[in-house]
Amino acid sequence: MGMRSTVQATLEMQANGRYVRLPFEVPDGASSCEVSLSVPDVAGAVVDLGCEGPTGWCGWSGGARRTFVLTSDDATPGYLPGVRPGTWHVVLGLHTLPPEGAELTVDISVPAHRSPDHGPVEEPVERVSRGSTRDLPALPGMTWFAGDTHAHSLHSDGALSLSELANEGVRSGLDFLCVTDHNTTSHHRFLPHVGDRHGIALVPGQEVTTHAGHANAFGEIGFVDFRRPAQEWVDVVAQRGGMMSINHPVSGDCSWLHPLTNEPVGVELYHGSWYLDPIDTSALAWLQRWRRDAILLGGGDFHNRSTSLRPGMPATWVMAEDSSPDAILDGMRAGRTTVTGSVNVVEGVGRPVLQESPILIRQGELLLILAAAGLVLVSGDNQRHIVSVDRESFVAPFGHGPFRLENADRMTLAMCQ
């Protein structure tokens, strides 16, 4: 059985809601279905693709793919498995349109003609290093674990399968990697097995993504509806016991524009894009208008191997009881974080420097400054202190951050609240 729907998408539709829902019926006994979107090849037409089932959200491709397949026990990455009878909806996100609009065509096939493709299943690579083997001072029973709080896979617009992504994290020496695909939780069910197989903790997350800003929602907390007002994201994540952070708050057309009455505590202040303009201070300026007790995170926002950036650029360190996803999330929520940005580039591939990187560790009202001789410690109110030795304690009262370490070129190599 085949069905076709067409819609003339206009700028007025975009202004009045942005998300178009096209209904289709799945009959009793159906075991699979396939949806394909056709967008005219005209400048300015960028349309996202998603799906909602009779019982709720099913998944999201964004602009990464034009076709998805659902079966009773499997689905295209980005979507949840399961086909049940009833009224479904294809969801179209009108990201950008030309002035004249665009005619969009959606074809539905029941049953599907194709099968879901989850990408390559790589063998685990041999681990050479692990950030947590660095002897960093920690509270009794705890260890500092190195990771990256922002990464993507085939479950949204990333180019790598989950096993390929896990291997990249291992190659970077990371103890954990937060997998934060856009507007979906379809990857969550695979993370424990893939993480165990590759020897790296894969922390469940989702990047709640809109045209007015992005935020990471961490934890196994269910889908957070990006179509709702951003304040609802904050409230829902808190009610479900997760953690939310504002992503790359000053970053081109992905900068944070959503109004909030209650701000989430997490901020991805050090984003991978900072390597492109190391002396940029716009994110620091933005933070001056945010809550003073923000928990600082670093996110590489890794998508593919087209640039030199790999997971851990920058690296977020979390002091936790162990490296399990639950313990890492507990440490993040408690604010036991610090961020490093040192990098080693070999043959065009950058990896984080973890064992010898300059780092700041808060110990009450003191900052412990390690491996930073010759760098400059800069406070949140722009006071500067020359670090003369490789281990130094510095009086740093709460509320005077964020503190950061700069080199002579003014690149930030470490950051702590």
Percent residues over pLDDT 70 in the chain? 100
Mean pLDDT of 305-332: 97
Q: What is the arithmetic mean of pLDDT over 78-88?
A: 97
Q: Is the confidence at residue 142, as pLDDT, over 90?
A: yes
Q: Quick one: CA torsion of 314, 319, 323, 328, rounded to 10 degrees?
A: -80
- Are the CB atoms for 147 and 318 separated by under 8 Å? yes
Q: Is the pLDDT of residue 370 over 90?
A: yes
The answer to whether the beta carbons of residues 311 and 174 sit under 8 Å apart is yes
HEC profile of 159-196:
CCCHHHHHHHHHHCCCCEEEEEEECCCCCHHHHHHHHH
Average confidence (pLDDT) over 300-315 = 97
pLDDT at 173 over 90: yes
Q: What is the pLDDT of residue 292?
A: 87
* Residue reference for tokens 């074809």: 107
- Please state whether the peptide bond connecting residue 314 to the residue before it is cis, i.e. omega within 30 degrees of 0: yes
User: Which tokens belong to 45?
Assistant: 């037409």
**pLDDT value at residue 267:** 98
Number of Cβ within 10 Å of residue 269's Cβ equals 29
Across 47-71, average pLDDT: 97
pLDDT of residue 1: 82
239: part of which helix (H) or strand (E)?
Answer: helix 230-239
The yes or no reply on domain 2-109 and CATH 1.10.375.10 is no
Q: Taking residues 137-149, what's their average pLDDT?
A: 98
Q: What is the pLDDT of residues 147-156, one digit of tens each?
A: 999 999 999 9
Q: Average pLDDT for residues 284-299, to the nearest whole number? A: 95
Name the pTM for this structure.
0.97
How is residue 391 written in tokens?
């281990």
Nearest one of 335, 343, 300, 301 to 318, comparing CA atoms: 335
Q: Can you give the pLDDT at residue 96?
A: 96
Confidence at residue 295, expressed as pLDDT on a 0 to 100 scale: 98
pLDDT at 331: 98
Measured in degrees and rounded to the nearest 5, phi and psi for residue 260 equal -140, 145
Residue 321 in tokens: 């009881």
Q: What whole-number distance in Å separates Cα of residue 250 and Cα of residue 273?
A: 10
CATH number of 131-357: 3.20.20.140
pLDDT in tens, 252-289: 999 999 999 999 999 999 999 999 999 999 999 999 99
Q: What is the pLDDT of residue 322?
A: 98
pLDDT in tens, 339-360: 999 999 999 999 999 999 999 9
Instruction: Report whether the peptide linkage leading into residue 352 is cis, meaning its omega lies within 30 degrees of zero.
Output: no
Per domain, the residue ranges of the chain are 2-109, 131-357
Mean pLDDT value of segment 363-384: 96
Tell me: pLDDT of 61 over 90: yes
Torsion angle, alpha carbons of 103, 77, 187, 48, to 10? -10
Q: How many Å apart are CA 263 and CA 246, to the nearest integer?
A: 9
219 pLDDT higher than 90: yes
Nearest to residue 351, comparing CAs of 318, 311, 317? 311
